[in-house]
Structure 1
């Protein structure tokens, strides 16, 4: 039983860390330990690390770390794009390796071997489309068009010039310091896409979030059905009922069933929990941006709410 509890504790700790890192600045977590963990992960731990490096290795090593930070966080780079491809590829590999042996099964037909692959391919295509599409770059040739499309209201937005691009700055646009360009209806710079999200590619970004939420939901439900099928095929509940006594109800046997599953299918359960957590995060991201789209607002125009530029 010790190993099973260790796996459960590991999953809970992982969930807390992931939620804290990605969602710690959400208003709902203000003043909670989730917010404090987020601050430590994103600021405190790094500050202590810099101090340690400076004390042990000297200022030159600190400057080297800051140079790496500048490249990774303040300039366009494919680091998070590579991480995304690795995550989705490795996750699908482990799902195929651990679950495909039981498909077709009691509840799932063999077609799910192919629909799962197709779902991942579509997700990657949406990722590439969002990453490499023009977000609405403003230049001297099209600035007049964007000024006409987004007129100044002289309340929030008034006529001004971009100090970097030296061209008029249309309303609702912003100069992205990372990409070094002005973007129409700027929402945020997405490190995962290595691209700004603006007027022209918001639709692709929304499709990416929705589709990946559906992939995670699909994967979670599929693994649940695989495990449920194994319970039926191996008649685990019947065997446990006989072993522990016919008077036991399923609820009484549930801890024993869970223990058996953790001992026999721990990889599948960890994958299921991982997909469920990521799916909930994606649902939150999609819901937030859907609300912005319905109110014709952008993340950049709501600075007081949670900043989702992490992803």
Structure 2
């Protein structure tokens, strides 16, 4: 290095090595380095653009494909394929390959999963929550306590997840407001018919008067007061008596995801601070002298370029 510059040992990447070479300052990267920088900068963005475009197309087609504005377009065709066409082709393939018995078996599994009470999604929820928490404990708890994160969050996370599990149990196993011949009169008096939207009708399955705002759930095979929907994740109907638990469950899991994202962000920020990554990217330790402002300016610009690519890759 020229006289007056203080060099501090640092392992630099290919992108930053062109600033300080073995024989002194070199303002231009080599041909090999230019190829490496260009390759790293082009591959990931195009992959992300392709991924984002396909994802957006699938989501828009799935949610909006039946809108009149998309009638006769490829968006409607994609919607038809995703919602029914792909499954019908799958059934034909199973029948052609394995016979009618295999096709009937697939239809039986479909009926059990979609038209009968079953704990499949409940087990999946427990696996998702338990697996995610286990991964976080194994990968992130070693950074707690950290620069921005207190050791308190090791124990607070258990409380937060436990509250979500309690709300899940309450929603899953509480009575949603089942209407029976014994309590139908109470529900009829509580929710009178207005003879406009709600008129007096008899449930053809339960053989009882169906109160206003009640509905017969074909999956659970019962009438439910103030029926909202049948939730597969809870394996239960959502009605008059457990709607509050269900809404609390949704809101709490929103807070749970927000809390987890914030804490993970603070962990990453603490590691960047502790390892002085920002200083390294801006060339703080590479060259220190009064005449090195031009070098630092160039490296700062290059660090901004790299940071922009890293941000797009997230």
State the alpha-carbon separation in 2 of the partners of residues 62 and 56 from structure 1: 10
TM-aligned CA distance change 1:14 to 1:81, over 3 Å: farther
What TM-score do you get using the length of structure 1 for normalisation?
A: 0.74
Which residue is equivalent to 2:188? 147
- Are positions 1:114 and 2:164 aligned together? no
- Are positions 1:229 and 2:279 aligned together? no
Residue correspondences, number: 264
Q: Once superposed, what is the RMSD of the aligned Cα atoms?
A: 3.7
TM-aligned CA distance change 1:144 to 1:204, over 3 Å: same
State the alpha-carbon separation in 2 of the partners of residues 116 and 252 from structure 1: 39
Which residue is equivalent to 1:285? none
- Are positions 1:191 and 2:232 aligned together? yes
Structure in which a larger fraction of residues adopt helix: 1
Question: Where does structure 2 lack aligned partners over 5 or more consecutive residues?
Answer: 1-39, 288-294
Q: Contact 2:144–2:150 at 8 Å: present in 1 too?
A: yes
State the alpha-carbon separation in 1 of the partners of residues 130 and 76 from structure 2: 31
Question: Where does structure 1 lack aligned partners over 5 or more consecutive residues?
Answer: 270-311
CA-CA distance at 1:40 after TM superposition: 3.8
State the alpha-carbon separation in 2 of the partners of residues 259 and 25 from structure 1: 32
- Are positions 1:61 and 2:113 aligned together? no
State the alpha-carbon separation in 2 of the partners of residues 221 and 126 from structure 1: 22
Q: Contact 1:241–1:248 at 8 Å: present in 2 too?
A: no
Structure 1 SS opposite 2:134: helix
Which residue is equivalent to 1:253? 303
Structure 1 SS opposite 2:112: helix
Structure 1 SS opposite 2:124: helix
TM-aligned CA distance change 1:70 to 1:120, over 3 Å: same
CA-CA distance at 1:146 after TM superposition: 0.4
Farther-moved stretch of structure 1 (65-74 vs 33-42): 33-42
The within-5 A match list for 1:1-311 is 1=40, 5=44, 9=48, 16=55, 20=59, 24=63, 31=70, 40-242=81-283, 245-247=295-297, 253-257=303-307
TM-aligned CA distance change 1:133 to 1:15, over 3 Å: farther
State the alpha-carbon separation in 2 of the partners of residues 106 and 12 from structure 1: 35
CA-CA distance at 1:43 after TM superposition: 2.5
State the alpha-carbon separation in 1 of the partners of residues 49 and 173 from structure 2: 37
Q: Contact 2:281–2:300 at 8 Å: present in 1 too?
A: no
